[in-house]
Structure 1
Amino acid sequence: MPVERLLPDREYTDLLALATELARDELKPLAAEYEEAERFPRDQFRLLGKSGLLGLPYPERWGGGDVPYEVYLQVLEEIAAAWMSVGVGLSVHTMSCFALAHHGTDEQRDRWLPSMLEGQLLGAYALSEAHAGSDAAALSTRARLDGAAYVVNGTKAWITHGGQADFYTTMVRTGEDEISCLLVDGHTPGLTAAPPERKMGLTGSTTTQMIFSDARVEADRLIGPAGSGMRIALSSLDSGRLGIAACAVGLAQAALDEAVSYAKGRTQFGRPVIDFQGLEFLLADMAAAVDSARATYLDAARRRDRGMPFGRAASVAKLVATDAAMKVTTDAVQVLGGAGYTRDFPVERYMREAKVPQIFEGTNQVQRMVIARHLKKA
């Protein structure tokens, strides 16, 4: 079902049309097959890079698209609606580039950022640890400066693209009260990936622990001053939460479209089931949830684009959009009935994929805490 878009400038219409066409023709036909086979879509990320969609919110100087965040997020929504693993991967890659793009030196940006934004290098974001998931300040992975390199030891957990990424934006403890950010080459000796997690959804996207065992990372890969890692991590997460919100809306929109299509084509008692009030109201509530969730991420993105504080709005968007996606995908299965519970239709996969956005980039319980803290400060 076409979604009416409100873009800040007419020039972005062609960009969104390109994303919609690519998602429809190149991504959606492969999604079920790749997810079933747990096959990583690396070629599809390269395609996004060649199409100019892998670095949309970053400066043209380094190969980005220099588009407003509200445009980037609407492109991301289209990608996620076609294939959630690729949408989430695009969001994670964009967040992984954030530290370098916003806190690196021009020399560092010149060296690495073009390859990241053009799709030659795929990124991962390494903040979480097994015992420091939502409590990022409790991380224990350590980096000791030894001459011209940091020696890194520890284990990062829940890493999207783990074992597949070419670089890892990694938060490490460089002192007892000091957290710093390192841009770690994916081929660094001493860095290995654990076996992938066995997940209920997003099975085309690998999630692993990344193990650092005396891994030597050149000191010139320190992003920002030593000790600025937590500030970089939290600012990255604010933008990353908007990406997850957009992905969740895309997934919910896909589920709604599938439910409406099925209800129009399925007949009972001589008429389409969409004509029955029980389904009419259910579908209407699903549509209202999708539209409302989209409005929250667009509001937050517009605040970001205008240089306004947007942390609270980002948490609201992530909370509202991911909760909506869980409900809408569940209701889509209900609309299809027994057919929705089979793999012959994509809604059962959508329902499985909708769960994890409520968890990563800060659980929705954490989002409520963040929102409440903003209210206390007001």
Structure 2
Amino acid sequence: MTDDLSTIGLDDDQRELAGMVRDFAEQVVAPQAYEADRTHTLNLDVVRQMGEMGLFGLPFPEEHGGQGGDYLALGIAIEALARVDQSIAITLEAAVSLGAMPIHRFGTDAQRAEYLPSLLAGEQLAGFGLTEPEAGSDAGATRTTARLEDGEWVIDGSKQFITNSGTAITRFVTVTAVTGAGGQGAREEGKEISTIIVPNSTPGFTVEPAYDKVGWRASDTHPLSLQGVRVPEENLLGGRGQGFRNFLSILDEGRIAIAALATGAAEGCLEAAVDYAKQRTVFGAALSTRQNAQFTLARMRARVHTARLAWHHAARLRDAGKPFAEAAAIAKLVAGDAAMDNARDATQIFGGNGFMNEYAVGRHYRDSKILEIGEGTTEVQLLVIARALGLAG
């Protein structure tokens, strides 16, 4: 089903990108999605091909090996991939928003020169170690610590739910850690939080076995353990004590990309449900002729359109250098709800078949729940929007 509304407001280059990634998704990503999900395996050959297409470098300047695009271009690619496989889409989203973007935004010239070329080419991946057992939405409750000793950071702690942290091509994880008392970037009085680059080969840094997840099962996600990990002092990313402020800005951008992913998932469910309803015969007539099914599909269509408008608006604000935190929160809220609602409705349209993992709608049903949790829960988005309305808390 061709969605002409999906390309309204895009220029020729953006339309070409959307078509290219959509074709790639259908021809390369979709055929391997079920097996990858079944075996909990990230297909690195698909990752390599995405790198060759330039997808990992989309929103970065050409001087660092990027494509010279913007966040709207990144979202277009993520949305097209998520239609058929959310695991591949989140691999790209996390690699860009959480892996490479912090280096680009806050790194020194030396750090950018060392890390960005391979990350933007998709030859290597990186993760962002923020979440801990006691620090999720309240990321300021970070307990991982780092102290300076003989020109090195000595890091102790643990992280959980870290994407792209344990693949064969993962180079490093940037971790948040308490580096002292007070500081401009402190979440709470008396706590200074900084971000530090930790290469995966560092002694004491252990990537624990991958999670057995409900959804995104072909995405690489691990808990991490850091025990007496030593890295050079120059592995500090951004100013000391700026970690909390910096990762908040990274999460704001990431919410736009997650909203694009959710929109793609909602669209994939809609397309599959429309096709199935036209083919499925119920009591002597196509399911698509039943008014109840038509109303369900119409609501699904409206959700996709609204979600896309929301994330496009947030991306354009970000790319124009204007405040976008509230728009990003609205986009993630609206799109996350659209993905979950469309997955539920598509599964209902499919009936018993929708409960089978071999059908994409069944996988979307499992995958989409995390879109209401990751990179800021629904409740966090509501708080951000409420604060933008001037409501005190």
Using structure 2 for the length normalisation, give the TM-score. Answer: 0.93
1:318 equivalent in structure 2: 332
State the match for 1:242 in structure 2: 256
**Cα separation, partners in 2 of 1:2 and 1:219, compared to 1, 3 Å:** farther
Q: Would you say 1:100 and 2:100 are equivalent positions?
A: no
* 1:80 aligned onto 2:85: no
Correspondence for 1:43: 45
2:27 pairs with 1:56? no
Tell me the amino acid that sits aligned with residue 115 of structure 1.
Answer: S
Q: Per the alignment, in what secondary structure is the counterpart of residue 156 of structure 1?
A: strand
Give 1:206's match in structure 2, choosing from 197, 220, 226.
Answer: 220
Paired position in structure 1 for 2:177: 172
List aligned pairs for 1:116-131, cutoff 5 A: 116-131=119-134
Q: CA deviation at 1:349?
A: 1.1
Match for 1:166: what amino acid? R
Judge conservation of contact 2:34–2:358 (CA < 8 Å) in 1.
Answer: no
> Kindly tell me: are residues 344 and 121 of structure 1, through their superposed partners in 2, closer, same or farther at Cα, counting changes over 3 Å?
closer
Letter aligned with residue 137 of structure 1: G
Q: What letter matches 1:200 in structure 2?
A: V
The answer for the alignment partner of 1:299 in structure 2 is 313
Residues 189-228 of structure 1: pairs in structure 2 closer than 5 A: 189-228=203-242
For the residues of structure 2 that align with 1:100 and 1:205, how far apart are their CA atoms?
22
- The one-letter amino acid of 2:343's match is T
Farther off after superposition, 288-297 or 178-187: 178-187
2:246 is aligned with what amino acid? I
- Kindly report which structure 2 residues correspond to 1:1-378, keeping only aligned pairs within 5 A, or say none: 1-4=1-4, 5-95=7-97, 96-164=99-167, 165-176=170-181, 177-376=191-390
Q: Deviations over 1:19-42 (max 9, x none)?
A: 122111111110001100111222
Q: Any conservation in 1 of the 2:34–2:357 contact (CA below 8 Å)?
A: no
Aligned-partner SS, 1:210: strand
Given that residues 34 and 40 in structure 1 are in contact (C-alpha distance below 8 angstroms), is that contact kept between their aligned partners in structure 2? Answer: yes
What is the CA-CA distance between 1:195 and the residue it aligns to?
Answer: 2.1
Q: Supply the distance in 2 between the matched residues of 1:73 and 1:11 (Cα, whole angstroms).
A: 14
Q: Distance in 1 between matches of 2:323 and 2:313?
A: 12
Partner secondary structure for residue 183 of structure 1: strand
- What amino acid is the match of 2:123? Q
**Cα separation, 1, equivalents of 2:36 and 2:227:** 32
CA contact (8 A) 2:60 2:69 kept: yes
Offset of residue 2 of structure 1:
2.3
**Deviation of the 1:7 alpha carbon:** 4.8
Q: Is the 8 A contact 1:7 1:13 kept in 2?
A: no
More off after superposition, 163-172 vs 237-246: 163-172
Note the C-alpha offset of 1:344. 4.0
Counterpart amino acid of 2:253? S
**TM-score of the pair, normalised by structure 1:** 0.97
Q: Could you tell me which amino acid in structure 1 is paired with residue 165 of structure 2? A: G
1:60-98 deviation digits (Å, cap 9, x = unpaired):
111111212112201110011121101011111111211
Q: C-alpha deviations, 1:301-324, integer Å up to 9, x for none?
A: 011111110001101111110111
Contact 2:56 2:92 in 1 (8 A): yes
Cα distance in 1 for residues equivalent to 2:198 and 2:13 = 37
The number of equivalent residue pairs is 378
SS of residue matched to 1:166: strand
Question: Residues 286 and 328 of structure 1 are in contact (CA less than 8 Å); yes or no, is this contact kept in structure 2?
Answer: yes
Alpha-carbon contact 2:128-2:163 (below 8 Å) kept: yes
Deviation, 1:158, is 1.1
CA contact (8 A) 1:163 1:210 kept: no
Query: Greater shift after overlay, 342-351 or 199-208?
Result: 342-351
The C-alpha deviation readout for 1:354-378, integer Å capped at 9, x for no partner, is 1011111011111111111111179
- Asked whether the 8 Å contact 1:333–1:340 carries over to 2, the reply is yes
Q: Unaligned 5+ residue runs, structure 1?
A: none
Corresponding residue for residue 184 of structure 2: none
Pair 1:69–1:6, CA change in 2 (3 A): farther
Q: 1:316, 1:367 within 8 Å by CA — same for their partners in 2? A: yes
Unaligned runs of 5+ in 2: 182-190
Shift of 1:167: 1.5
Aligned-pair identity in percent equals 39
Distance 1:189 1:42 in 2: 25
Paired with 2:45 and 2:198, the residues of 1 have a C-alpha distance of 22
**Which whole-Å CA distance do the structure 1 matches of 2:150 and 2:24 have between them?**
47
Contact 2:330/2:385, CA 8 A, preserved across alignment = yes
Q: Which amino acid aligns with 2:244?
A: M
Determine the C-alpha separation between the residues in 2 that align with 1:283 and 1:13. 25
* Alignment partners' CA distance in 1, 2:224 and 2:353: 39
- The amino acid of 2:121's aligned partner reads E
Greater CA drift, 262-271 or 284-293: 262-271
TM superposition shift of 1:332? 0.2
**Aligned pair in 2 of structure 1 residues 51, 211: CA closer, same or farther (>3 Å)?**
same
CA-atom RMSD, angstroms?
1.4
